[in-house]
Amino acid sequence: MAKQYKVVHCTINGKKVEQVVDVRASLTDMLRNDFRLTSVKKGCEVGECGACTVIINGEGFNSCIYLAVWAEGKEIWTLEGLTGPGGELSDIQQAFIDEGAIQCGFCTPGFIMTSWEIVNSGREYTDDELRKALSGHLCRCTGYENIFRAVKKTMLRHLGKFEEAEKVNSQGITEYPEPMPFK
Amino acid sequence: MATQLLMAKSPSEAMGLKTADAAFLAGGTEVNRLGSEAAAGAETLISLKRCSGMDHIEKDGDNLRIGAMCTFQKLVESDIVPAYMKEAAHFMASRTKRNMATVGGNIAALRSDSYLLPTLFAVCARLEVLTREGQENICVNSFMEEALSGKEMLITEVIVPLGIKAVSKRYANTAQSHAVLTMSAAVTEKGITMAAAVKNSGIYRFRKLEEALRSGEDMSEDDMIAFFRGAEGLSISDDMFGSVEYKRYLLGVTAYDLSRKLADSGKGV
The structural domains of chain A, ordered by start, are 5-82 (3.10.20.30), 91-166 (1.10.150.120)
Q: Is the pLDDT of residue B36 over 90?
A: no
- CB of A50 within 8 A of CB of A107? yes
pLDDT tens digits, B212-242: 988 888 899 999 999 999 988 888 989 999 9
* Cβ within 8 Å, pair A136-B95: yes
Closest in A1, A6, A59 to B43, CB measured: A1
The pLDDT > 70 percentage for chain A reads 92
Nearest CA in chain A to B90: A132
Pairing of strands B134-139, B22-25: unpaired
CB A155 within 8 A of CB A120: no
Count Cβ atoms below 10 Å from residue B214 Cβ, excluding itself.
12
3-state secondary structure of B148: helix
Interface test with A, best of B94, B174, B178 (most A CBs within 10 A): B94
| Distance from C-alpha of B181 to C-alpha of B168, rounded to nearest angstrom | 10
| pLDDT the model gives residue B190 | 84
CATH number of B165-265: 3.30.390.50
- Cα separation, B45 vs A23, in Å, equals 10
Percent of all residues in chain B with a pLDDT value above 70, rounded to a whole number: 97
Contacts of A47 in chain B (CB under 8 A): 29, 32, 94, 96-97, 100
The reported pLDDT for the residue numbered B41 is: 76
Cα gap A38→B35, rounded to integer Å: 30
**Pairing between strand A53-56 and A75-77?**
antiparallel
Chain A residues with CB under 8 Å of B97 CB are 47-48, 62, 65, 136
**Minimal Cα–Cα distance from B229 to chain A, Å?**
34
User: Does residue A26 have a pLDDT over 50?
Assistant: yes
CB spacing of B3 vs A24 below 8 angstroms: yes
Where residue B7 falls (left for φ over 0; alpha for ψ -120 to 50; beta otherwise) is: beta
A78 vs A119: CA distance, rounded Å: 16
B2 SS3 class: coil
Is residue A67 over pLDDT 50?
yes
Q: Residue A155's pLDDT band (boundaries 50, 70, 90)?
A: very high
For residue B267, the model assigns a pLDDT of 46
As annotated, the residues of chain B forming the CATH 3.30.390.50 domain(s) are 165-265
* pLDDT of A177 higher than 60: no
In chain B, residues under CATH classification 3.30.465.10 are: 4-161
Confidence (pLDDT) at B177: 84
Q: What is the mean pLDDT of chain A?
A: 91
The proportion of chain B whose per-residue pLDDT surpasses 90, expressed as a percent, equals: 76
In order, the DSSP letters of B59-126 are: EETTEEEEETT-BHHHHHH-SSS-HHHHHHHHTS--HHHHTT-BHHHHHHTT-TT-SSHHHHHHTT-E
Q: How far apart are CA B173 and CA B165, in angstroms?
A: 27
pLDDT at position B266 is 65
A134 touches A115 (CB < 8 A): yes
Out of A10-24, A157-171, B60-74, which region has the weakest mean confidence (pLDDT)?
A: A157-171
Beta bridge partners of A75: A11
User: Does the CA dihedral B198-B203-B208-B212 come out positive or negative?
Assistant: positive
Residues of chain A with C-beta less than 8 angstroms from the C-beta of B7: 69
Q: CA nearest A114 in B: which residue? A: B96
Which pLDDT does position B265 carry in this prediction?
Answer: 79
The answer on pLDDT for A130 being more than 50 is yes
Per-residue confidence at A173, pLDDT binned at 50, 70, 90?
confident
Q: Which CATH number fits domain B4-161: 3.90.25.10, 3.30.750.24, 3.30.465.10, 3.30.1330.40?
A: 3.30.465.10
Say whether residue A3 is in contact with chain B using an 8 A CB cutoff: yes
On the question of pLDDT at B103 being above 90, the answer is: yes
Of B2, B5, B31, the CB nearest to A69: B5
Interchain contact, B4 vs A59, CB within 8 Å: no
Closest by CA position to B166, among listed B86, B55, B73: B86
Q: Stretch B100-124: mean pLDDT, rounded? A: 95
Please, what is the average pLDDT of chain B?
92
pLDDT score, position B32: 75
Q: What is the dihedral of CA B253, B254, B258, B261, to 10 degrees?
A: 60
What would the mean pLDDT of A23-35 be, rounded to a whole number? 95
The dihedrals phi and psi of A29, each to the nearest 5 degrees, come to -65, -40
Rounded to a whole number of angstroms, the distance from the CA of B74 to the nearest CA of chain A is 12
Distance of alpha carbon A162 from alpha carbon B10, whole angstroms: 50
Q: Which residue in A21, A48, A49 has the most chain B C-beta atoms within 10 A of its own C-beta, making it the best mutation to test that interface? A: A48
